[in-house]
Every structure is written in C-alpha cells, then in structure tokens.
Amino acid sequence: MHTSAYRLAIAASLAAGLLLSADTAPLTRVERSDFGTTKDGTPVKSVTLRNSKGMSATIITYGAIIKDLQAPDREGRFTNVVLSTGSIGNYENGFGGAAAVIGRVANRIAGARFDLDGKTYKLAANSGKNAIHGGKKGFAQVVWTIGTVSEKAGSSSVTLTYLSKDGEEGFPGNLKTSVTYTLSDDNALRIDYEAETDKATLVNLTNHAYFNLAGGGSCLGNILQIPSADYTPADADLIPTGEIRALKGTPMDFRKPTVIGDRIEQLKPMLNGYDHNFILGRSKALKLAARLVEPKSGRTMEVRTTQPAIQLYTGNHLAHTAVCLETQHYPDAIHHGNFPSIVVRPGTPMKESAVFTFSAK
C-alpha cells in the first residue's frame, strides 16, 4: 500500500487548491491485498478505504476487523487510532484489542441459555456460567467474504458477508449477515449492519473497536461525553438486573464532558474501570451516542447510532490503554421483557448503523 506517498500527494493537492471542485471527483481509493492465512489454511484478505483528506481504514476479512484507522491530529499528522496487530496468528490466538464485529449476540446472555417460541436453546458458557460475544467461536473468529467494493465521489466502501448456519454456537436459524464499512470525505467511518434469518433467532451486532486517539499511552486523560440519563445496573457477573436506573450522582454520569480517569477509582474494587451499558433511547434515527476528545493531539471522535444503547469499556484488562464505545442493544435482552427486543424473525431483517466521525482542534 502506498500510504506515505498517497498522503504526500493529498497534502500537495490541498496546498495547491486542487481538491475538491464541484466538477472533480474526490481522490478516493480502494486497495486490496492479502493478509495471510489462518491455521486451517483459509486466506484472509485486506481492503483499504481512503478519502480525499488522507484518512484511511483497513478492513480484514478475519472477524471483519478494522485493522487500521488513520486519523489526523490538529497538526495534520496521521496515526492509527485503533489497537491492532500485524499478524493473523495474533488475532487467531485471541489478541485482546481486535476491532472486530461481534455476533450473533454481543455482550452477555445469562446462564448461556434462552427460551424462544416455546423452545429452550443452550449456548456455550464462555464467561463463567454465562455466554458472551457470540460464544466460543463468534463472528469475531470467522473469515468473512468480500461482497461489493465501491468507490464513489465522496466515499469508498466495502461489504463483508457471513452465513451463520442453523445451530452454530447453539443459536437457531440460518443467519445471513452483512457489514458495510464506508469512509467518506467528511472523515466519517460508517458501519451498516444487516441480518436476515429463516427461523426466529437472536441478533445483537456491534464493533468492539478499542480506540486510542493518541495512538498510544493511557486513555484515562481522554475527555468523554455520553448524552445518557439512565443505565442498566448489573450484578457481579455483569448481567443486568432488569432495572433502569438514573446516572445522576453516580461515577458513570458523563452527560457533561468529563475526564475518564477522574472518578474511575470509585468503581474499585468491584470493577477495574468502566464496563457499563448506557441507554440512548429507542428512536431508529441516528443519534449522538458519545463524544471522545484526546486533549494533547486534539483528536475528537463523535459516535452516532440507530441502536438503543452504548457500552463503555475502558480497556480494563489492558491497563486502560483504550476506550471501547460499542453501539448495541442491552445486554441479556432476551431475559428482560422491558428491554428492547433482539429477536429477529423471517421476513423482517435486522438493520442498524453506527457512524464514527473524526475531527481535530
């Protein structure tokens, strides 16, 4: 990939006033390459999306992972703002910072079982007695197929697809899933999820990207705002109790921009940091879910989503070197009738979106 040369060309064009005229398509680019082979011999591919501002997003077919996301600081310097590794072997061996698509069901299902339409389904217990993030081999551990790749004026995109067969990880129904990543000239990376099934099943998709807007170091100095007034309290296993509780007066209240590390000690010893589900509302329109600012670089990331909640996780197993802002439905929704449903039925596809927009001041 001609990353450095491409960015130098972009910078020169911007300086010369060559971008973007009404008559000229932006210098968007899509590049494909190989990214190695899994242990069972399956080839893994890589697709890099670029925009006219020099920003790029590299997606690999293993786990539909965002391998690299280059964003500028206030001086125009680019760095990768997601945790990543250059080895497919590291991803297969459980690299803990993968920006992967999580499914069929992100987050937790209590007791690794659920009842649906009069039948009980048993899942693999991979988090104590509970199931988490799709099971022992969820969507983050499979190789997806590249569908359409598109380059248009103002954006470039790639769609990845995966067929989860009936009974996979204990879930019912053949589930056809697609995830489309689109990088636009306003420095926004959009993720569109779609899934359809031939039998009633559960679906809760998210991307588990670990963001570090400085490109390294601790995230505790980042400033975070989440426009949420309520959350779903959970037990010691992080299973929701079913209650909806106000955030006011708690260390989790981020309605005003707050330094992440300011109140994190109040969560100990029960938790080593934030791992909480914030309620955003049931509107299907894109709505602001979070705003994250890294003061030294000036990088800002705004998150918008159609989903009803966002999970804040502060890389507690990684010494707080990253922040996860996972747009999602509520954890363990199948066991709480007052939570938005994650049941998907034949003829009614699941469609959700998230948009991550970057700027610098």
Q: What is the DSSP track for 2-35?
A: -HHHHHHHHHHHHHTT-S--TTS----EEEEEEE
Catalytically annotated residue among 133, 196, 208, 276: 208
- Report the distance separating Cα 84 and Cα 67, nearest Å: 6
Q: Which residues pair with 323 in a beta bridge?
A: 211
Neighbours of 244 (CB within 10 A): 16
Phi, psi for residue 169 in degrees, rounded to 5: 55, 20
CB contact at 8 A, 114 and 202: yes
CA distances from 253 to 108, 248, 316 (A): 23, 6, 19
Give the C-alpha separation, 214 to 218, whole Å.
9
**Alpha helix positions (H), the chain:** 3-15, 88-92
Catalytic option among 194, 326, 329, 352: 326
Q: Is 196 a catalytic residue?
A: no
Using CA atoms, how far residue 275 sits from 9, 226, 278, 323, 354, in Å, is 42, 14, 10, 10, 20
Q: Please work out, in degrees rounded to the nearest 5, the angle formed at the alpha carbon of residue 221 by the alpha carbons of 219 and 222.
A: 70
Provide the residue count of the chain: 361
- 326 tagged catalytic: yes
In degrees, rounded to 5, the angle at the alpha carbon of residue 269 between the alpha carbons of residues 268 and 272 is 60
Q: Are 11 and 76 in contact (CB under 8 A)?
A: yes
So which residues are the catalytic ones? 208, 326
